[in-house]
Chain A
Amino acid sequence: MNMKRLATVLCATAATLTAFSVQAQQRDVIQIAGSSTVLPFSSIAAEEFGNNFSRFRTPVVGSGGSGGGLRQFCQGVGVNTVDIANSSRAIRPNELANCHSNGVQEVIEVKIGYDGIVFASRAGAGTFELEPEHVFLAQARQVPRDGQMVANPYTRWSQIDSSLPDQDIVLAIPGSNHGTREVYEEKVILEGCKKFSEITDMDSGAQNDACLAMRTDGRVVEIAGDYTETLARLESNSNTVGVFGLSFYESNRDRLQVATVSDVVPTIDNIISGEYPVSRPLYFYIKGEHIGVIPGLQEFAMFFISDMTSGFGSILEDVGLIPLSDEERQEVLTTIREKRAL
């Protein structure tokens, strides 16, 4: 009798799960995942989209970092995979290949605007006027000195350059799951590193290794979480210099003070003009196969890129997104309209 009951229960469970699976075949809400830098912009665009188009449901925006988002995105085609991956860097060739091998053939790249990367310290701590080579010297495992590489001897910023504050070196940088990290390495560390003849004399493979190797004495902290975690670091140790997105800094101007890089203050104007060196485009990637299957996918992309949502004077500019130029916007809109895949 017990066996019979057990069998009934098992059958019921199986039936319920099957019913669930059938239910899951129709999804009418867009699923987004990825970069935490893009997340605020994407969330606001999603919410406004839901508010303005009563036909469509408000898209759901997840995080997980650029790398994590693209990995989820490339898992395959189907209702239980995400439709859009946010990324604060361009998709890498190996990621694209992974996408293709999992059946995601149509990856549509959409550039949404620009964002600056800023160095900020706690308000009230010393003011920094950084050069890329300062940051390199602060975080490298080995630094060039008198024609050879020696273990990093610097413990205070003032030892690197007398113009910098006499303050312990503690640097909070984004973890490798963040797209920001890649841009930070490319635009700051490599830039600063290659100003030394000791480095440029090496062969090219060794150069990158020497530039990117980080000291391991606890002065460089990799933050895997959000910028709030970086902020918490700054609040617990006032010596810390953190790497933030410009929009995060703008929301917390009362707590943070920003460093100049190569004597340029990071402002929206300076980033648009290209004077501020550390800026990068932000992207999202649409799964072409899902257009027409998930209602509103293409419309959402068009809405996001429209001048009304992400142009000058728009709600996204208010929260710190640096808008695309008009030509770029037209080009991106055409890409979406014609579903041009990478």
Chain B
Amino acid sequence: MNQQKNATQAESTTGASGMAAQSDVQAKVTASLKRRRRKEKIFRGVGLGSVLISLTLVLILFINIFSKGVPAFWQTSFEMDIYFDPAVITIADKPEQQPGETFADFDDRLQAWETELGFVNFNRLMTDAVAPLLPDFERSQTRFIMQMITSGEAHALRNMVMEDPSIIGETKTLRLLTSANVDVWLKGNIDRDLPDSRQQLPAVVRDWADYLYAEGHIQNRFSTALFMNPDSRSSLASAGLAGAFIGSFYMMLIVIFLAIPMGVAAAIYLEEFAPKNKITDVIEVNINNLAAVPSIIFGLLGAAVFINWFNLPMSAPVVGGLVLSLMTLPTVIIATRATLRAVPPSIRSGALGLGASKTQTVFHHVLPLAIPGILTGSILGVAQALGETAPLLLIGMKSFVASIPETPFDQSTALPVQIYLWQGNELRNFFEARTSAAIIVLLMLMMTLNGIAIWLRKKLEVRW
């Protein structure tokens, strides 16, 4: 801007004095014009280039993840009529609590009944349903049918009976997920031309899968398994994110209720109340240092203090939440202090001048004006904590957990750790896509959080 002004000035003076001899300065300016304009052009070019390069890289990343991950939200599944055959499910009536019976006795009987139910061959219900659909099926091929259905579905059928034994004898139309390898085969994620010795499925199963898919018995449907199920290794096709999601949710609750109030309180005290002296300087420097500490170190601290000293359980969201709170604390403090500093001193002076106490000034006048900034900072801090992986690995949260945690004290994983775990799963053909799908879910959550932060900032923005 300034440069241009100089340039025009230089030109106009040249014009005004006509053909008269130019002063030395004017000559110098004219001579440098070309060079200065070229410099500007180069800088603009470099800047634009950097923006374009980073955009391209982000785009490549997104295209890569989305092209791999989006198909994993759809999974191939059977839709078929399952007859809960009383000849297969031979089991006594579900025990009910008798009047006068203690709960312990009733529970024993219920356990015994459930154990008995565990011996029922629920696979038989599925093979009986699939077999009639297949051309030229021979009894000896029964075991191949079970290679098409993911093993967790037998437990799903058992749980249906356990909840409501009256369905025995009825026929229900159910959707059953195919096994991971059938999903891989039908989606073409394995080279279909490979010889038998390098395929995961026997030829007969591959032919059946193609046939059933062509006939419409197997269809590629949007799958809720990814969202509703916990992780699984024995039934890969039903592995889901629910356990990790709830684990992350508990941790974020702890961060929100621990780090944010503490961070805001610390920031208000330091900014508004604390005397400015050597000690507060040291504290200030250290808070900034703390924000720069690599997150893995918080993990080491968590393992040493929370698990070994306070005897908190390993792999539990409560420890994860505490560690992430420590990590988020400096971010919240720094963001809050910056916002408080941005509140004009005139507001404080005005309140004090009208007779408000220091505390009243802060809580009635300064804090309400700082809320949008504090919220934005906190949400960004939480989003950062949500994506944090390294400290969680050190407190045992990279374990395989096949159940959804009921309380923050139950063992669990977290969303980013689940991505890490799936990345390590040995059935690459299936889990490459599933890992990308998990990344998409995590990215969406982060974007939502960041979106809320931006929306709040826009909505509550105060102009002075």
Contact = CB atoms under 8 A, between A and B. Distances in A.
Interface string B179-207: 00000000000110010011110000000
B273 A60 contact: no
Interface stretch (B328-336, B380-388, B423-431): B423-431
B220 interface: no
Interface stretch (A44-52, A109-117, A204-212): A44-52
Contact of A54 (B114, B194, B409): B114
A117 B401 CA distance: 27
Given A40-B233, A51-B155, A254-B198, A24 B311 contact: yes
Interface residues of B, number: 45
A40 B426 contact: yes
B74 to A, nearest CB: 22
Interface string B301-326: 00000011011111100100000000
A254 B311 contact: no
B111 interface: yes
B396 A48 contact: no
B233 A44 contact: yes
Contacts of A33: 396, 399
Interface in A19-50: 20-21, 23-25, 27, 29, 31-33, 36, 39-40, 43-44, 46-48, 50
Interface string B401-414: 11100000111000
Given A61-B400, A254-B200, A226 B424 contact: yes
Chain B contact residues: over half helix, strand or loop, or mixed? loop
A55 interface: yes
B400 A23 contact: no
Contacts of B396: 31, 33, 62
Contacts of B62: none
B14 interface: no
A334 interface: no
A77 interface: no
B442 to A, nearest CB: 19
A252 B426 contact: yes
B313 A79 contact: yes
Interface string A50-70: 111111011011110000000
B400 to A, nearest CB: 4
Given A226-B424, A315-B151, A21 B398 contact: no
Interface in B226-259: 232-235
A32 B233 CA distance: 15
B43 interface: no
A123 interface: yes
B233 A47 contact: yes
Contacts of B169: none
Given A21-B312, A62-B315, A251-B200, A225 B428 contact: no
B269 interface: yes
Interface string B427-447: 111000000000000000000
Nearest to A23: B409
Given A47-B233, A80-B307, A62 B313 contact: no
A31 B398 contact: no
Interface residues on A, range: 35 or more
B426 to A, nearest CB: 4
A61 B400 CA distance: 5
A25 B409 CA distance: 11
A78 B232 CA distance: 28
B426 A247 contact: yes
A276 interface: no
A21 B315 contact: no
A33 B232 CA distance: 17
A45 to B, nearest CB: 8
A324 B273 CA distance: 71
Nearest to B111: A55
Centre residue among A20, A53, A61 by max chain B CB count within 10 A: A20
A312 interface: no
B232 A21 contact: no
A316 B94 CA distance: 32
A228 interface: yes
Contacts of A247: 426
B350 interface: no
A24 B401 contact: no
B118 interface: yes
A97 to B, nearest CB: 22
A285 interface: no
A315 B155 CA distance: 15
A17 B427 contact: no
A52 B424 contact: no
Contacts of B429: 252, 254
A61 B200 contact: no
Contact of A80 (B311, B399, B401, B411): B311
Interface in B140-154: 151
A82 B314 CA distance: 9
A248 B200 contact: no
B198 A27 contact: no
Given A46-B400, A60-B401, A315-B151, A79 B234 contact: no
Given A60-B401, A80-B307, A20 B318 contact: yes
Contacts of A29: 410-411
B371 to A, nearest CB: 21
11 contacts: A24-B310, A33-B399, A47-B235, A54-B118, A60-B411, A248-B426, A251-B426, A253-B199, A254-B200, A255-B428, A315-B151
10 cross-chain pairs, A with B, having the tightest CB-CB distances, nearest first: A62-B399, A43-B233, A226-B424, A44-B234, A61-B400, A60-B411, A43-B400, A251-B426, A58-B402, A47-B402
